[in-house]
Amino acid sequence: MASPKIFTVLLSGLLISGAALADQADDGALQQRLVGSWVLPPDAETDALRIPSRQVFNRDGTTQLYLYTTPECRSPAAAAIEGRWSIENSVLTTQITAVSDSRLIPVGEVQKVVIVALEDDKVVFHADDKLFVREKSETCFPPDAHRT
């Protein structure tokens, strides 16, 4: 059973902190750029919560987080979580609307994260004095993947 803290990091629903988006981009532009599938990048520093996962942000304001049993994120997912997302003042807010396993996180919970930077293929979130990086990709990278 995943604790809410573990899920919080996976969903990028990290506790809001005082970090601000570097260039204070407008929220509409951030929403457009966040649409897509995001995973832990190859060559990421050791992440204690390196659970194979992929999160999809849809244009209609819905999101799905898929947890997998293998690092390559092969189907089927071991668990799935659905929610609604929005961005206001560079803060990503996600409300959980459905879970495949009720032990993961309660339906209705609201998670918030500060977006520190958002590029076409990389997003950086800040929480608990740490930065969490996710990369845009339709598939996960195996733990031993490296940039060439």
- How would DSSP label each residue in 49-69? T---EEEEE-TTSEEEEEE-S
pLDDT averaged over the chain? 78
Cα separation, 27 vs 121, whole angstroms: 17
Contact of 116 with 122, CB cutoff 8 Å = no
Higher pLDDT among residues 108 and 21, named by residue: 108
Predicted local confidence at residue 147, as pLDDT: 54
In terms of pTM, does the model score above 0.85? no
What end-to-end distance do the CA atoms of the chain give, in Å? 36
What confidence tens digit (pLDDT) does each residue in 120-133 have? 999 998 776 778 88
Contact of 7 with 103, CB cutoff 8 Å = no
Domain 4-136 -> CATH class: mainly beta
**Cis peptide before 76, with omega less than 30 degrees from 0?**
yes
Residue 125's CB is within 10 A of a number of other CB atoms, namely: 22
What confidence tens digit (pLDDT) does each residue in 14-37 have? 333 333 443 445 999 999 999 999
Predicted local confidence at residue 29, as pLDDT: 93
| Domain range summary for the chain, segments of one domain joined by + | 4-136
Give yes or no for residue 89 having a pLDDT over 60.
yes
Closest CA to 65 of 6, 125, 144: 6
